[in-house]
Amino acid sequence: MADEESNQMARIGSLNVLTLAFTAGTLMTVLVIADAAHGGVDGDGDLDTVFANGFFDRNRVCLGDGSGGFTCSDLITGGQGTQGVAVGDVDGDGNADVVFAGGPSEVCLGDGSGGFICSGLSTDRLVSEGVAMGDVDGDGDLDAVFANFEGVFKVCLGDGSGVSPVAT
């Protein structure tokens, strides 16, 4: 169980640093994270957190136990350099999915138990710095909007089976 007073989030320049400590006094890890998103990714009704860990570490999914504790594991994706993350049901199956912004940007379809299958998204090879999801075209499916380093945003339209692999 986590000691809530020992858990800390700090910002150092443009980096977020998360320190998780446990009652046994051992430090779980110190993550340098670029972004975090919350959602119920394992279907148990507790809040879970997905971390985009920038260029320094692997992305992580931390499953909440409902009383302040988390079980964390690596979320293996095709590349490093993720700068943003968003959680939502992009394929309409009722399970939370994850979209990462970075180089490369990726969509990870959730299986409802905290597992994911990831595939790349084309954002015209621009370095994406952030991502948000919403229904931008009014068709009832979640779409992903990427903020890119070059200042041009890109939209990947959802079709109910995921988000389009090609940005518009």
- CA torsion 110-82-126-148 (nearest 10°) is 90
CA 131/CA 54 separation, integer angstroms: 14
pLDDT tens, position by position, for the chain (168 residues)?
A: 344 444 445 544 444 555 554 444 444 444 567 889 999 999 999 999 998 887 777 888 999 998 888 899 988 777 667 889 999 999 989 999 999 988 778 899 999 999 999 888 765 556 788 999 999 889 988 889 988 877 778 888 888 777 665 555
DSSP per-residue codes, 116-147: EEEEEEBSTT--EEEEEEE-SSSSSS-EEEEE
Secondary structure (3-state) at 29? strand
pTM of the model: 0.78
What is the three-class DSSP state of 17?
A: strand
- No. of helices (H) and no. of strands (E), the chain: 0, 14
Give me the residues paired with residue 100 across strands. Answer: 85, 106
